[in-house]
Amino acid sequence: MTTPWTPSGEVSVDATEPTLEPVPGLPLDALMSSPTDELSRPRLSEITATLPIADVAPRADDNPIWMSTATVDNDGRIAVRSALRVLGWPIGPVTLTANPRAGSLLVTAGGRHVVTAKAMLRLPVAMRRACDLAAGAHVLLIVSPDCDGLLLFTSYAVRRRICGANVQDDGGT
């Protein structure tokens, strides 16, 4: 039961007793038993047998989109090991293309930037500044089956997509 708070600091309490409704298939006296009375407690199998189970249909999408998040570290690096595994890329050179207006970066195979042996990708300072990515900023990593690359979206780009184009940007963190 929650206790409402008033501006004066007083607490108002509802004096009505909470009602206990029986769980289908479980006797009410089993719910009212003392926690120290081990013999009268319902068995786990009795409880779980009466709980509803959601019927979740399997996904029909044969080409799911892979998503994860990463945090920009103090040196401007992000961890991309899982993304490389999904793409089937080895650790090595990549190309980075930034779209600061959209708050996105595209990583493609081959190029002059390097994914380190620890699967860390260093984002160049100019790209971090253009996309407003400071240390501690979160990015959304996406690998789409129809795109042979890794897409990175800044948090403000994601916020803009979710809330609409008229959202006031407060930075990339």
Question: What does the alpha-carbon distance between residue 123 and residue 52 come to, in Å, rounded to a whole number?
Answer: 48
Q: Could you report the per-residue pLDDT of 26-54, keeping only the tens digit for each?
A: 454 554 555 555 555 666 666 555 556 66
Mean of the per-residue pLDDT values for the chain?
77
Residue 13 pLDDT more than 90? Answer: no
pLDDT of residue 116: 94
Placement of tokens 């002059």 in the chain: 112
Residue 148 pLDDT more than 80? Answer: yes
Q: Could you report the per-residue pLDDT of 105-134, keeping only the tens digit for each?
A: 999 999 999 999 999 999 999 999 999 999
Give me the domains of the chain, ranges plus CATH numbers: 19-52 (no CATH), 66-163 (3.40.1550.20)
Residue 70 pLDDT more than 50? Answer: yes
CA 125 from centre of chain: 27
